Chains A and B, each alone.
Chain A
Amino acid sequence: MSLRKTVVIFALVWLAGISFLHSSLNLGLFDKKERGDRVAYKLGFLPVTCHLTCPVTHFINKNMTGEGMFEPLRFSSWPELKEAFLAGQTSATFILAPMAIALREQGVPLKIVYLGHRDGTAVVVHKDSGIFSMPDLRGKRIAVPNRYSNQRLLFFRALKQAGMTIKDITLLEMPPPDMPAALYAKAVDAICSGEPFMGQAELDGYGRVLWQTKDVWPNFISCVLAVHEKMITEHPDAVQELVNGIAKSGKWLDQNMDHRMEAAEFVSRNYYNQNSRLLRFVLSKPPDRVKYTKLLPLKPDFEEIEALGKESGILQGTAHFEDYVEDRFAEKAAALHAYAWEAPKEK
């Protein structure tokens, strides 16, 4: 056979074959799909406990009604999550609170409609290190997730409480999944991010919690649920339904420890693709490590974030609570009870 004939035939067969394999194995193109008449939209999230209510709401809804309410879209890092939201690929997203405020300042039409969680962040040091208090961190290298993360602001606050300034420490930006390994290798002296990555360092035996957020900034918020303004004006019912769902699953999670352990199982298996041991650990030790109730956005909380954001140089102070928060959905959802749902017992 000539070269051309061979190449053309081979290329066509190859492309057809690999496209068929990919679309049947990964895209589920040949699966039967059920489509309701609800608004179809994507909700962005990361596999962190700050966003846990996203998979929980999706899973409970799918089990109760056969539909997932929204399509959860899992990202691996903040920039991609943010870009997909800016490009309108996701209509709603879980996002860092200061990042949402900064985007609003830059003219992005988003509204914070609900909080993701309260607390759920720890500062972890190597167990062999001599660091036992804030002053011991003087001159040390500390990893935080992102310039716009509330974990960075947390340090500004903690430093102030300890009578220190930002010049006393070095803050590094690092993706949270890389933090445990960096601490293990002693590439950094302390790490600070949302769970479960801090719990991982503790669980694997080389990390020691220096302090939890509740010790320094009670009712700490790192992530919020934000939606495009367009979705609020065009589909307010869908937004209300989303906030209701997130609120109900938050209350469900905080109802009792059984629910948390069930969530650890089904979220690890179906959404995070990790060993459930880790989620079980961070959701229970201690039980108030992260909380999913009292998630109405409140003005004083955000004013504090604004002030620290300005101080740390990430916010201009041009956007205020009324500009970036739409709390009517959360207020309506406040009276709702937890999902009346129990996970079916395994086998």
Chain B
Amino acid sequence: MKNGGSGKWQAILLPLIVAAVLLLAWDAAVRVSKSDLFPRPVDVLKGIIELAQSGLLLKYISASLFRVSWGFGLAVLVGIPAGLALGWYPRAFQAFNPVIQVFRPISPIAWIPIAIVWFGVTDASPVFLIFLASVFPITVSAISAVQNMQPVYLRAAQNFGLSQSELFRLVIFRASLPQIITGIRIALGVAWLVVVAAEMIAVNSGLGYLIIDARNAGKRYDLVVAGMVMIGLIGLGLDLLVRQLENFDEVRWGYASKQ
């Protein structure tokens, strides 16, 4: 930011103006088209308030966050070590990369039947689907982070005579961290994105379930859009949260400063 004080205001004010314009355009579009199926923003707000008052909103948000947290958490635990190892050992990369590229483009929706057969109609199924969707972006970003690492770090490490495990912990992991964090941000977005698909399985809670359930419930498209709005807002919150990671010294060095 060039001038701290007004810059801060701008960072809040500008997005709010864009949001207000979009809301007005949405409202006007519904009025002009005279659609009585598509809800107006005020209907959606009423829908959200109705959900909040009945306690369903908190229930559904915690259910979706639960599934995303576990699926995404497992993906981080598996994806980062796997990506670092594959990035470091060229033979392993040669062996596993085609398989990863085969699995990566398969939509979680295609996995639903398999998830039901393996995990039944419990929370494990959506967790599995979210894990699948988010593990690949993390792995791939970790692989390329290691592969693109500056050779000078390695040479320095060799001069200090680091052992293999020290090399991994102290050099490779730290050097890759900024790029891995970027992968994690993308993966968290994807994990949250697939929550609707993952909750198509017979779970009876969650924001994705809210959308599917509202379609079943007759003319409740206000609740459909309410679910979409909540997913969007929480996605924004999650992204802001992950971005906090970029403020740590261990990561910040990796980003070009615009100050």
Contact = CB atoms under 8 A, between A and B. Distances in A.
22 contacts: A3-B248, A14-B69, A15-B73, A18-B62, A18-B65, A22-B123, A26-B204, A26-B205, A47-B216, A83-B116, A83-B117, A84-B121, A89-B120, A180-B218, A181-B37, A181-B221, A185-B37, A200-B218, A272-B217, A273-B216, A274-B220, A275-B217
Interface string B12-47: 000000000000000000000000010000000000
B168 interface: no
Interface in B42-71: 58-59, 62-63, 65-66, 69-70
A274 B116 contact: no
Interface centre among B69, B116, B215, B221 (most CB of A within 10 A): B116
Given A3-B248, A81-B202, 12 more contacts: A3-B249, A6-B248, A14-B69, A15-B69, A19-B66, A25-B59, A26-B59, A26-B205, A76-B202, A273-B217, A274-B216, A274-B218
A76 B200 contact: yes
Interface in A174-196: 177-178, 180-181, 184-185, 196
A272 B120 CA distance: 22
Interface in B144-197: 177
B interface, size bucket:
35 or more
B219 interface: yes
Nearest to A199: B218
A323 B170 CA distance: 67
Given A3-B250, A26-B205, A84 B220 contact: no
Interface residues of A, number: 45
Interface string A51-93: 0000000000000000000000111110111011011011000
Main secondary structure of the interface of A (DSSP, over half): helix
A14 B213 CA distance: 28
A278 interface: yes
B142 to A, nearest CB: 15
Contact of A273 (B73, B200, B202, B213): B213
Contact of B213 (A2, A25, A76, A204): A76
Contacts of A196: 218
Contacts of B200: 76-77, 80
Nearest to A268: B217
Contacts of A216: none
A87 B70 CA distance: 24
A200 B221 CA distance: 13
Given A7-B245, A80-B202, A196-B218, A26 B63 contact: yes
B185 to A, nearest CB: 14
A21 interface: yes
A343 interface: no
Given A3-B250, A73-B121, A21 B66 contact: yes
B212 interface: yes
Contacts of B70: 15, 19
